[in-house]
Structure 1
Amino acid sequence: MITGRKKDPLWRNFIEIPASSSSTTGVGGKTLRAQCKHCKTNIVSLIARMRAHLEKCPDYASRNSSASTSSSRIQICENDSSDEDCGADGMQVKVNPTAEKTSQASQVPTLSKSSSRGSMSQYIVKTSEKEKHKIDIQVAKYIYATNTPFRHSEHPEFIKMMQLSRPGYLPPNRKNIDGKLLDEVYDTVKSNMENNLKGKVVCMALDGWSNIRNEPIVCVSVTTTENDGSVYLVDTIDTSSNSHTSNYLLILAIESIKKCRSFGCNVRSFVTDNTANMAKMRRQLTELEDDQIGDVITYGCSAHLINLFAKDIEEAEIKSDVKKIIKYFKYHHFPQAKYKEAGGKALVLPQDVRWNTLADCLESYVNNWHCLVKVCSEHRSVLDLTIKDLCVLSNCTHIWKDLLSSDWLPEEADKLKARFKAAMTPAHFAAYILDPNFNGDGLSEEEDTIGMEFLDSSCPNTMKDVLAYRARSYPFLEYSLEQSSAQRKLLNWLQL
């Protein structure tokens, strides 16, 4: 049996012409030419040439026009295609039943390989320079808008997130975000602002602030007088090297008004807070005669004045007590946890530079009053110990002893004892012995001995009184310990 490479099914449309009968001599008796069965044309017997011939052969096209519609796609079977998949002429025909019929001249089929794959571009996500720049700008805008540190753009997890969203995309580094991207975004925002404010009548506001690094700046903003009342930030000025005098603020106000007029924005009113330097600056601006500024109405901020009025009538004592309670529940772990368990909402602390925060503070306090009372009533004993500004050593010892008396798992009890030993000193035991609220109750014999030895070594002259106190002999009788004079005497001993 003769073996070798299987012939291409395309040969079914051609007749082999031996080299001996051809005008072109062959090498080793191989076939050098082929004759088309349809138009009898002789061509070189190369598959590519034969396929190209069939695409142009008119007789072949007319023969197959009756078997397919005008939009048929004829595909040449590959060498590895089975005979059952091909027609009698070695061609594979796919018919589109919805195609419209056209003229006979346009019914030339299109040939392609049946196993040909699509372009590689459909499997690859390409990011052009224009698209990358667009994404870079959006990344930069996100960082600017959220006050995110620029170095976050180089964080591995951020890069991974961006590449999952856009394979092959590498976000800009912090130098680009801090450089050309920042300049471009700034120029774009500035241009949009100027276009939006062109031909508008606005009210300008000027105020001093401090940034996150506590550097003084002056911000200038304008509000349109239309129904929407849109607000635009016109300028921010670093004033680190200048005092906020009325003359300096007047210069800033004039420059800001002229800046707005340069792009067609008309400033007709000017508002500031009511500090002395701002009030004087407004008077100077009113008296100023400058055609480039025009007539500008100046006035103080009513919201600021109302806030000052609220300070005038506030009860400082009530404010102080409420702040003390809120701070206690916000900054102490145990009462904070119990307050949340009781369903308490967020408590607000008043801030002098944040208007209406005092009202928000009192409102949050009143609305959560029932939760505060519940926590205080259910956990009075624990809160009494943690709420004190001064916690003496005897109280510390009592808290530790109370913890040791609770039920713990064996491994937890061992850890607690280790912490107890690390916290306790001879002074703790001595204070616990002398405190009339505890009298050394609960101390082990060893702990009691340690405390007494400490008193003997540190205060040998008081040992007679200490022994009298422990024996409840004169002057430390039971009833006398309740008197304030005896309490004060013992408190002196507790301050060890």
Structure 2
Amino acid sequence: MPRPASNVWIHFRRDEVGKRAICKYCHHNMVSLVTRMRHHLAKRCTDVPPSIRADIISGEEALGAAKQASAMGLHAADALSLHNAQFANMTTQYKPAMMKRDAPPALSDAKNKKPRKALPPASNPALERHDMQSYLAKAIFGAGLPVSVIDHPCFTGLMKRMYPLYQSPGNAVLTTTLLDNEFHAMSSQVRADVAETAFLCLGVESWSFASNRSVISYSVHSPNPAVYAIENTREAPHVPMMLLEHMEATINAIGIEKVATIVADTSVNMKQACDMLHAKFTHLTILPSCAHAMEALVAEVLSLPTFQPLLRVCTTVATFITSNHVPRASFTRVASDMHLDSFGLVTAGADPASLLACVYSIEKHRHIFEMLLGEDLGALDGLEETVKEKLLTLSWWAQLAQFKGLLSPFVDVLAVFDDDYPSLSTFYHAFTLLWTHLQTHPSVPLDVTRVVNKHWHAMRHPAMYTAYLLDPRFPPSSLGNDETNEAFAFLKQLSSPAMFSSLISELTRYTGRVGVFADDAVWASAKECSPLHWWKGFIGSSCPNLQAIAIRVLCFPATSGITHEKRVVLDRIHMQNRHLMNEEQACKAAFVYLNSNVGARPVGDTIFL
């Protein structure tokens, strides 16, 4: 009779082709030898249940005892007794060395079920101190905190609570060695990213006009944006020739073959420097910073005599309440009773965005002023009588609402620049909505249209139309014939003659929605991701020539510098650390802060539909 199959086969499947066995737990294919199959379950299989592994091990031990007893001439019962005696002897022999005090069975089982903890590696105090100081510098400069905070007792106590071996490096070490380490590490990363790209757009901004500081900032867009350098120019005035020399040195450091486009601020000296730069490097495309151009446009609109009486009342009221504690407390009380912001008034600054925010805050809290004027508790006694009369007049509030409706699209355009690196296509779309609003609004002063026209002709460029044409979020039919022709001419300038015919063929499929572009889901997906990601995917790979141009053009930013919010933060950091850091160290700290907070504010590439 054939030998009966071993019970180990219940854990394996038969592979009849090769006479092999396949483990049901880990699916290991092995030779169908019972001894090897048992050894696999007992020693090698990682997925076998523990109970089955224990049964296999005990069976092997019993089988070994039986073989030993057979060799000694014992019966089966004696063999089992021998196996139990050996196991008891082994347990008794090693119990003092291997086991702790006997625990109750329930506790012992629970303890055995706990996973074994790995021992921590041997600590290196010098390495830990270096890592702690590195993280400390990242936190201080990345968050924009004053460097003096590290010596504050509360901060030191917090650090010692988290890391008992913490020792403060001191202001001197933080602003020299640690700052230099973070600056060089971040600078090396930015330059490594730049070295891997074929083309990039360089943004240049002089801080002498915006912040009255001897600084030039450079940003790169490739398409991952970053601050390339913040250069301290010391005593050198920002005249055209000086700006030209510094821009040329930066372009040569990056690589003249990589820099194809420059976006510069719209100051007079910078314009002259860019003209000389373009005469020297004719392949460069020079774009004006739309953020600076729009700021000048809105500032000129707000300076028109038509709006001055209205703006004067708003700024006077906001300044009076924010600078006097009694009216401010009364305003806060009424706002709390009406479940509004505790204090939502905005004082007007030098920039047009803050002036518009001041006007909007006055209009928003109209009912609070009505309550304060009706209480007759003296909260607004110090305010000019002519201003109070305006606040009591319904016609004045109607004028304010009309002014807000007229300038609402201007606010939307300025909001585009709240993003760190707004795209040129998004700005152009917002500006087209502004222009449509001016054409359809019933009461637009002629001076407003004149100012907008003047600034638009100064900032317009075919790159805007090209970026708008290649942005999948916007329909190509939105462009007029003249704008489309200028976009085609710009595409021809960017491509080689041999590639231009293929480029036009792919562009025809893209604009005509033919082939892969015929599916509406393809265009709907553009609303769910950025245009760059849309072109980088399989959709863009269907037209490789157009894909390369689209990624290059959509990297063009609408601004050459940093946002107003980031500039305010940097000015505050500079003032807080002016006694502990020189201008060179302040530039390094600004570089670390800006690159640590790229895109930190969740402001999307807004579309105004």
Using structure 2 for the length normalisation, give the TM-score: 0.41
- Going from structure 1 to structure 2, the CA distance change for 1:75 and 1:199 (only over 3 Å counts) comes to same
- Going from structure 1 to structure 2, the CA distance change for 1:213 and 1:299 (only over 3 Å counts) comes to closer
Conserved 8 A contact 1:351-1:358: yes
- Going from structure 1 to structure 2, the CA distance change for 1:97 and 1:259 (only over 3 Å counts) comes to closer
**Larger-Rg structure:** 1
Structure 1 counterpart of 2:132? 135
Structure 1 counterpart of 2:254? 260
Spell out the pairing of 1:64-103 with structure 2 (5 A cutoff): 65-67=86-88, 74-75=95-96
Structure 1 counterpart of 2:285? 297
SS in structure 2 of the partner of residue 350 of structure 1: coil
Q: Specify which of 372, 376, 383 is matched with residue 375 of structure 1.
A: 372
Structure 2 counterpart of 1:365? 362
SS in structure 2 of the partner of residue 67 of structure 1: helix
Spell out the pairing of 1:166-177 with structure 2 (5 A cutoff): 166-177=163-174
Structure 1 counterpart of 2:232? 238
Structure 1 counterpart of 2:178? 181
- Supply the AA of the counterpart residue of 2:88: A
- Supply the AA of the counterpart residue of 2:260: R
Conserved 8 A contact 1:207-1:273: yes
- Going from structure 1 to structure 2, the CA distance change for 1:184 and 1:72 (only over 3 Å counts) comes to farther
Query: Within the alignment, does 1:273 sit opposite 2:265 as a pair?
Result: yes
> For residues 69-101 of structure 1, what are the alpha-carbon distances to aligned partners after superposition, in whole Å with 9 as ceiling and x for unaligned?
669852279xxx99xx8xxxxxxxx998999xx
Partners of 2:254 and 2:332 lie apart in 1 by 51
Spell out the pairing of 1:15-414 with structure 2 (5 A cutoff): 65-67=86-88, 74-75=95-96, 128-200=125-197, 201-209=199-207, 215-224=213-222, 226=223, 230-261=224-255, 266-289=258-281, 295-314=283-302, 315-343=307-335, 344-345=340-341, 346-352=344-350, 354=351, 356-379=353-376, 381-384=378-381, 386-387=382-383
Partners of 1:155 and 1:206 lie apart in 2 by 38
Task: Return the structure number with greater strand share.
Answer: 1
SS in structure 1 of the partner of residue 207 of structure 2: strand
- Going from structure 1 to structure 2, the CA distance change for 1:239 and 1:179 (only over 3 Å counts) comes to closer
- Going from structure 1 to structure 2, the CA distance change for 1:63 and 1:362 (only over 3 Å counts) comes to same
Query: Identity of counterpart residues, as a percentage?
Result: 18
- Going from structure 1 to structure 2, the CA distance change for 1:66 and 1:159 (only over 3 Å counts) comes to same
- Going from structure 1 to structure 2, the CA distance change for 1:180 and 1:71 (only over 3 Å counts) comes to farther
SS in structure 1 of the partner of residue 378 of structure 2: helix
Partners of 1:271 and 1:247 lie apart in 2 by 18
- Supply the AA of the counterpart residue of 1:205: G
How many residues are aligned here? 284
- Supply the AA of the counterpart residue of 2:238: H
- Going from structure 1 to structure 2, the CA distance change for 1:253 and 1:97 (only over 3 Å counts) comes to closer
- Going from structure 1 to structure 2, the CA distance change for 1:68 and 1:324 (only over 3 Å counts) comes to farther
Larger RCO: Structure 1 or Structure 2 (Cα < 8 Å, ≥ 6 residues apart)?
Answer: 2
- Going from structure 1 to structure 2, the CA distance change for 1:171 and 1:70 (only over 3 Å counts) comes to farther
Partners of 2:97 and 2:322 lie apart in 1 by 80
> For residues 386-417 of structure 1, what are the alpha-carbon distances to aligned partners after superposition, in whole Å with 9 as ceiling and x for unaligned?
3369xxxxxxxxxxxxxxxxxxxxxxxxxxxx
Partners of 1:215 and 1:309 lie apart in 2 by 24
Give, in angstroms, the shift of residue 140 of structure 1: 0.8
Deviates more, 1:63-72 or 1:270-279: 63-72
Q: Which runs of 4+ in 1 moved over 4 A?
A: 62-65, 68-73, 94-99, 124-127, 210-214
Unaligned runs of 5+ in 1: 1-61, 86-93, 100-120, 390-496
SS in structure 1 of the partner of residue 96 of structure 2: strand
Conserved 8 A contact 1:271-1:299: yes
Using structure 1 for the length normalisation, give the TM-score: 0.50
- Going from structure 1 to structure 2, the CA distance change for 1:339 and 1:70 (only over 3 Å counts) comes to same
- Supply the AA of the counterpart residue of 2:188: S
SS in structure 1 of the partner of residue 140 of structure 2: helix
- Going from structure 1 to structure 2, the CA distance change for 1:66 and 1:156 (only over 3 Å counts) comes to same
Task: Return the structure number with greater helix share.
Answer: 2
Conserved 8 A contact 1:209-1:218: yes
Give, in angstroms, the shift of residue 175 of structure 1: 2.2
Partners of 1:178 and 1:236 lie apart in 2 by 17
Partners of 2:156 and 2:209 lie apart in 1 by 29
Give, in angstroms, the shift of residue 351 of structure 1: 2.6
Give, in angstroms, the shift of residue 326 of structure 1: 0.5
Conserved 8 A contact 1:246-1:278: yes
- Supply the AA of the counterpart residue of 2:237: S
- Going from structure 1 to structure 2, the CA distance change for 1:369 and 1:73 (only over 3 Å counts) comes to farther
Conserved 8 A contact 2:260-2:285: yes
Give, in angstroms, the shift of residue 162 of structure 1: 0.8
Q: CA RMSD in A?
A: 3.9
Partners of 1:247 and 1:211 lie apart in 2 by 16
Structure 2 counterpart of 1:9? none
Conserved 8 A contact 1:220-1:236: yes
